[in-house]
Amino acid sequence: MFVVTAYELAGQGTGGLSSPPEAKGKVMKQSRFPAGWDEQRVRQVLAHYENQTAEEAVAEDEAAYEAPDQAMIEVPNDLLPAVRELLARRRA
């Protein structure tokens, strides 16, 4: 099963989002973000989860299970790619 929760992210820092050191004579690749996202938005989301207490993270997770317009299900890892593909097609 694949689940990302806020308390799994807490305290892990911003990882590769820090400013890279200057590279002489090399062209730097531009970061790629999903449509509608940029580095500022990513940093804001990371800050939200990094500053969340464990209790706040649990409350946020529990609230997701109570959303009337969504359902939470367990999916075996080997079926996850197919489920993601179906969801992507539905959004398109």
Domain ranges of the chain: 34-92
Residue 25: which pLDDT band, with cuts at 50, 70 and 90? Answer: low
What is residue 59's predicted lDDT score, i.e. its pLDDT?
95
Q: Which two tokens stand for residue 71?
A: 């359902």
* pTM tops 0.75, yes or no: no
Can you tell me the mean pLDDT for 38-62? 95
**Strand, coil or helix: what is 25?**
coil
Nearest CA-CA partner of 60 in 13, 14, 9: 9
Q: What is the mean pLDDT of residues 26-46?
A: 84
Q: Return the residue matching tokens 């062209």.
A: 27
pLDDT on residue 65:
87
CA distances from 55 to 11, 52, 86 (A): 15, 8, 33
The runs of H, that is alpha helices, within the chain are: 6-9, 39-50, 54-65, 80-91
Give the confidence band of 20 by pLDDT, cuts at 50, 70, 90. low
Q: Over the chain, what is the mean pLDDT?
A: 79
